[in-house]
Chain A
């Protein structure tokens, strides 16, 4: 069938919307939201890391920039969630472009180190910026009721599309996650994806075969950073609180890299499978045990996959691992 993927996307969004209709336990939104967020982050990471072979340790930095762009917009202008997401995407994309420009001329290791440093520098900066709450963090009231052309989206009495803000934000997160996967897949199936793959395989040979390697890498860092920023932008509104420790949490860096690697980095399905699987296990582990154990599970799984099945779960099923 021709539009299998597109139809799949629509079905997922319908399911996400119906999910907000069921009078489910509130915990399911709280658990489902990070899983969708992880799908988006892992997918974004994989565009540069999986297709292009450049490891980004700075996911937390891009995410935090997205979150704090949203906070600043709320503080300044009382902006709504859609504006927050778009502008956070622009800011984080620009950040990706600049860090790429200054470090991608160097070999991969330097890029990795620079991205790690980026997260730390940005966190320190926000820690000292009182306007957005500084180190203590900041809490807000749920965002003002979104409306379009006079139509109000949220009404607790059931007269609108969504019953409450959490449902609305959950659905927005689902839309963003699907959007990211669609972008990643389009890149993968096209000339850009093949170019990035050739860079991963052998950058010098790629350049000698006419691939404009620097331009492709910059494109990938920009898109990847931008999507991460968007994923971060929804965070403050969903939590109604944010502090630097949450926004720049290094666990994001670990997860964004582990999820694609465990799921499989060579195709868009890999990060999705990795994020859903690991995200679910982690949500369960957080409730049942502790968040420390959570990281331990992640570490063990990562080592297992890197050594035994380098093409991840999806590769396993596609018989890529010999």
Chain B
């Protein structure tokens, strides 16, 4: 494999006396579809928070595109090419769906781009997500799946090299899961590297080239989907035996 896009090197995070991440080391390659699994409270979101700059890791290094991210502010990391979604959608609720997408385009895109160009770009993303008809609506009127899609659409509007999706499919029906999967695979095929955090096993297994599993803040398994399904440690972590 060539130089990885993201290197997580012995990352540790404590909350008071509680260790949420302990010495996690892994790599994500350019263009890879990477799965991150683990039982509730195992540290998945915490790892994403450290990578995106919402939290500061207490130990270790996170290297993205050859650059060490330690000490870098979250919005700078987004500008560098990392965008994450939130497990519980956090739309800008006082704005329309369109304006939600305009925020990253305007703040990260070409300075001085015309409003028309910005709106066209936002619209084309909404079209791929099948949400064009909602563009001028308020976010308060959106259904669960629409909120999840908006969360993804807004992240994609930031044009990330690395998209981190934190449980984009929780609470969706089987068909809706397939719909979101298709969207993500589509963007991956256009060159976007994606980390998917998911509890829906069918979806992660189908999506990922490679998967890691966290348990109580430790990395307990790493491999292709068929290796992970057979892994005894993963099974134990999930079944709690």
Contacts and interface: CB of A to CB of B under 8 A. Distances in A.
B79 A194 contact: no
8 contacts: A194-B99, A195-B103, A195-B107, A202-B90, A204-B74, A209-B158, A210-B78, A210-B104
B5 interface: no
Interface in A160-210: 191, 194-195, 197-198, 200-202, 204-210
B94 A210 contact: no
A266 B95 CA distance: 11
* Of listed A200, A205, A207, residue having the most chain B CB within 10 A: A205
A250 interface: no
B52 interface: yes
B7 interface: no
A282 interface: no
B44 interface: no
Contact of B79 (A206, A210, A213): A210
B93 interface: yes
B92 A210 contact: no
A16 interface: no
B172 interface: no
B107 A211 contact: yes
A212 B73 CA distance: 9
Contacts of A214: 73
B83 interface: yes
Interface string B99-117: 1001110111000000000
Q: What 4 pairs between A and B have smallest CB-CB spacing?
A: A201-B92, A205-B90, A210-B108, A210-B107
A211 B90 contact: no
Contacts of A191: 106-107
A194 B90 contact: no
Interface size class, chain A: 20 to 34
Contacts of A204: 54, 74, 86, 90
Contacts of A211: 75, 103, 107
A198 B52 contact: no
A211 B94 CA distance: 16
Interface string B54-82: 10000000000000000001110011000
A238 B92 CA distance: 44
A214 B74 CA distance: 11
A194 B100 CA distance: 10
Contact of A194 (B103, B155, B158): B103
B84 A208 contact: yes
Contacts of B84: 208
B99 A208 contact: no
B106 A194 contact: yes
A206 B54 contact: no
Contacts of A266: 94
B154 interface: yes
Contacts of B103: 194-195, 198, 206, 209-211
Given A198-B92, A201-B92, A266-B94, A209 B99 contact: no
User: Which one of B74, B84, B155 has the highest number of Cβ atoms from chain A below 10 Å of its Cβ?
Assistant: B74
A105 to B, nearest CB: 11
B241 to A, nearest CB: 37
A206 B92 contact: yes
Nearest to A53: B94
Contacts of A197: 92, 94-95
A266 B94 CA distance: 9
Nearest to B159: A210
A205 B101 CA distance: 12
Nearest to B79: A210
B163 to A, nearest CB: 12
A197 B158 CA distance: 18
Interface string A209-227: 1111110000000000000
A208 B163 CA distance: 12
A194 B53 CA distance: 22
Contacts of A202: 90-93
Given A195-B103, A206-B103, A209-B78, 11 more contacts: A194-B95, A198-B95, A201-B91, A201-B92, A201-B94, A202-B91, A205-B86, A206-B92, A207-B53, A210-B107, A211-B75
A194 B158 CA distance: 16
B95 A209 contact: no
A202 B78 CA distance: 16
A213 B74 CA distance: 10
Nearest to A204: B54
B212 to A, nearest CB: 22
Given A191-B106, A194-B103, A195-B107, A207 B94 contact: no
Nearest to B74: A207
A201 B93 contact: yes
A211 B73 CA distance: 11
Nearest to B93: A201
A210 B53 CA distance: 12
Nearest to A211: B107
Given A194-B99, A195-B103, A198-B92, A210 B86 contact: no
